[in-house]
Structure 1
Amino acid sequence: MSLIGSGGGYWRYSPLPGGGVKFVTRFDYRARFGRAGRWLDRLLFRPLFGWATAWSFDALRLWLDRGIPPEESLLRAKLHALGIAVLSLCWAYAGLVPKLLYPAASGELELLRALGWFPGAEPAINAALGIGELLLAAVIALRRSRGLLAAQAIALCALTVGATAGTPSLLYAPFNPLTLAMLMLAATFVAVSTRKGLPSAKRCRRQPASRNHKKTEEGQK
């Protein structure tokens, strides 16, 4: 059932001047299942195969350089991805559903009117906040920088304080802005604390140095 029909490759370790090791691997194969298999390979399988190969070799680098075993690298990567996913989904939901799709039913407009900061402009401000939260969700999922995670945590605290100050009765609900903020701050802590020591496919050179070779997957330390 494998998409790979036949293939071959090698691993090569070369000592570097002054210490260190250069590691190069090459693997190529032919896809099965005719034209459909070739298209599936080109669009999905081969890029994923290359990314996973580079990621695993960077996990090997961390094991050799920092003593981080691969199972710990994998656990850190899963926890980091979970934290980022929770943050992105929460921001996306908060921006799309209550602010853009159902602003009247969700009570978002009433919260803005209770603040009294934007008389008459509450619908426009609410829509702008929703679009901003959707953009923030996308940026968090793509960038994952420590500064961005800290900035969104500050924005989260500010929005929570503003909502509860304008309508204190929100704190009596079972699922309120405070409990949501606590969940998202916990996800922020997980994402920030697992950022360091993560394997990354970007640290490996994915193309050969010479243009005369066919496309290969290379990992370098």
Structure 2
Amino acid sequence: MIKVLIADDEELVRTGLRAILEAADDIEVIAEARNGSEAVTEAARYRPHVVLMDVRMPVMDGVTALREINRSPQPPKVVMLTTFDRDEYVYSALRARAAGFLLKDTAPRDLIAAVRAVAQGNAMLSPTVTKRMLDAFARSETPDSAAARKRLAGLTERERQVSRAVARGLSNTEIARELGMTETTVKAHVSRSLAKLGLANRVQIALVVRDAGGNESP
């Protein structure tokens, strides 16, 4: 059973998320929090597998709560709830190693699938979200190209090919088709690349590739 903590300052949102998640027979919502401070406390008390965390909350915002939760010895996977088009905190959450991001209007089926994926240790980031976040970073940050190329040099050529495809916002299915491999192999390359680079999700891979010079070889 996947144990979930929902943290959002709007009761209607919490109620809706609970109803959606508890419709799945393998997910249980074990606690709710109205702000980031409560989320930190409840996460320590109930030890959920996954936390759905609103970015914008009173008392303590979601990013600060994420950092606090990640200081615990065995932290849960934290998925940030956001609107993306106006949440400047999203990029701080990415740097703070959020396990994924969900739009607040995510379809119920996709929400359940995302919780399951994150609970299994997979980062939850859609290609559309990847592209939007990369665009925002491109407008706001100056890349350290030399450092990024040095990091990518530690990957195998196949891992770099997959990483460059990730940076273009392709899904695992699209990468598999383009590079002539199975989706399982693509997932394995992505996982190894994350481990070697010390990263938490696909967007972070895409950022390193972008900083190294886009789709060119490091």
Q: TM-score, normalised by structure 1?
A: 0.23
Which structure is higher in helix share? 1
Q: TM-score, normalised by structure 2?
A: 0.23
Bigger radius of gyration among the two = 1
